[in-house]
Amino acid sequence: MNIVAVTACATGVAHTFMAKRALEDAAKKQGHQIKVETQGATGIENELTQSEIEQADIVILAVEVGIAKKERFEKVKKVEIPISTAIKNADGLLNKIKEKLQM
C-alpha cells in the first residue's frame, strides 16, 4: 500500500511523534510505503503534497485535535482514528485497512 498520514495530539509533542514512528515502523515491517505529516507545537512538518494525497491508497488521520488544511482530505479514502490507536497497535491498524481495501 501507498499510505499517507497525519499525526497530531493536544500538546503537539510526544504523542504526535510517537504515532509517526509507530506508523512508519509498522508500514516498513509490512512492506508498505508511507509518508507521515506531523502537526504540533512546531507547526506542520513533512507536509503532504496534494499529489501525494491523491496517489495514496489510504490516508490515516491519527489525531486528537483539529488539524490545519483538513480540506485536502475531503475527496480521498481515509480513516480517522485516535492517536493512541496508532501508538498502541499500528500493525493491527494497517492489517485492518489492508483487509478493507482488499490489498
Q: Residue 58 belongs to what domain range? A: 1-100
End-to-end Cα distance, the chain: 7
Q: 95: how many CB neighbours lie within 10 A of its CB? A: 13
pLDDT tens digit string along 38-64? 999 889 999 999 999 999 999 999 999
CATH value at residue 13 = 3.40.50.2300
The pTM assigned to this predicted structure is 0.95
Active site residue ranges: 9
Percent of the chain with pLDDT over 90: 91
CA–CA separation, 75 and 92 (whole Å)? 25
Please give the tally of structural domains in the chain: 1
